[in-house]
């Protein structure tokens, strides 16, 4: 799976790309991430990418010319233009169903906003899929883009060491939360591991986990769970 990240702060991704699962996935060529600086497509003495909003109001907006130039040039880099995603708090809310849906894509182009966001014509003309990571405001689209990459690569075949691990996690099935998990020691400060997990009876363990999963989902998510 290939990701192209369009941002004003490509440096933010340097350390992220060097860590753990993602680093190994890149080394094994299961995933690639290419960062592009939108400012490289800006013109003029100051290579300005933003401007004040018509009608007044606080802050600055990302302007159409450098964003259009950048998106069009990057999408043309390879034959598959990929799915263009705009990170915006106004988009569809990211969840595991969307992760599953988008994990089928070979290439995803992530457009990160900054300042007060985008000139509306970026949305109207480039027709991106708009994604929000939640009902709150981040300073920029970079952390949301990392979150999309983080969640999507888990479903790329062979990225997780144990292929079953994504199958049993929270939300893997009908929005169920995962059952409680324990590791050694068996007794920690008087809190003990449920007996059923120690008896080696796999059918009984599976039943207990299923029940615990249903109860936890009901308790924490109620009717919407
Ligand atoms: C400070 S925000 C601008 C928010 C904008 N004024 C609004 O009310 O919709 C700057 C950028 O951060 C990114 N961003 C902020 N919150 C986000 C969220 N919840 N999900 C996805 N991207 C977000 C977007 O790319 C956005 O353009």
Give me the helices (H) in the chain, please. Answer: 12-16, 20-27, 64-75, 96-102, 120-126, 142-153, 202-221
The two three-digit tokens of residue 130, written as one number: 């708009």
If we measure between CA atoms, which residue out of 53, 72, 67 comes closest to residue 8? Answer: 67
Task: In the chain, list all ranges with CATH 3.40.1280.10.
Answer: 2-153
How remote is the CA of residue 93 from the centroid of ligand 1, in Å? 12
Decide: 67 in ligand 1 pocket, CB within 6 A: no
> Over its length of 225 residues, how does the chain's per-residue pLDDT go in tens digits?
999 999 999 999 999 999 999 999 999 999 999 999 999 999 999 999 999 999 999 999 999 999 999 999 999 999 999 999 999 999 999 999 999 999 999 999 999 999 999 999 999 999 999 999 999 999 999 999 999 999 999 999 999 987 667 777 778 777 899 999 999 999 999 999 999 999 999 999 999 999 999 999 999 998 644
Task: In the chain, list all ranges with CATH 1.10.1270.20.
Answer: 168-225
Buried/exposed code over 40-59 (b: 16+ C-beta within 10 A; e: otherwise): ebbeeeeeebbeeeeeeeee
CATH of domain 2-153: 3.40.1280.10
Decide: 54 in ligand 1 pocket, CB within 6 A: no
Q: Name the maximum alpha-carbon separation found in the chain.
A: 72
How remote is the CA of residue 212 from the centroid of ligand 1, in Å? 37
How remote is the CA of residue 69 from the centroid of ligand 1, in Å? 21
Task: Name residues whose C-beta falls within 8 Å of residue 170's C-beta, 6 or more positions apart in sequence.
Answer: 96, 176, 177, 178
pTM above 0.75, yes or no: yes
Q: Assign domain 168-225 to a CATH class.
A: mainly alpha
The two three-digit tokens of residue 58, written as one number: 């606080």
């Amino acid at each position: 799976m290939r990701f192209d990240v369009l941002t004003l702060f490509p440096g933010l991704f340097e350390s992220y790309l060097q860590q753990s699962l993602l680093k190994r996935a890149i080394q094994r060529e299961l995933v690639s991430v290419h960062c592009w600086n939108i400012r490289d497509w800006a013109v003029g003495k100051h290579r300005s990418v933003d401007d004040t909003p018509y009608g007044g109001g606080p802050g600055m907006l990302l302007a159409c010319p450098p964003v259009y130039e950048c998106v069009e040039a990057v999408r043309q880099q390879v034959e598959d233009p990929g799915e263009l995603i705009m990170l915006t708090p106004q988009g569809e809310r990211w969840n595991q169903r969307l992760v599953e849906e988008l994990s089928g894509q070979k290439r995803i182009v992530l457009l990160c906003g900054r300042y007060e966001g985008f000139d509306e014509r970026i949305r109207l003309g480039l027709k991106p899929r708009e994604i929000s990571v939640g009902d709150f405001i981040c300073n920029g689209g970079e952390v949301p883009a990392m979150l999309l990459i983080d969640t999507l690569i888990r479903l790329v075949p062979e990225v997780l060491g144990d292929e079953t691990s994504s199958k049993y996690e929270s939300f893997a099935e009908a929005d169920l939360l995962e059952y409680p998990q324990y590791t050694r020691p068996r007794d920690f400060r008087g809190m003990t591991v449920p007996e059923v997990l120690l008896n080696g009876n796999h059918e009984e363990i599976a039943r207990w986990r299923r029940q615990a999963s249903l109860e936890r989902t009901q308790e924490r998510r109620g009717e919407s769970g």
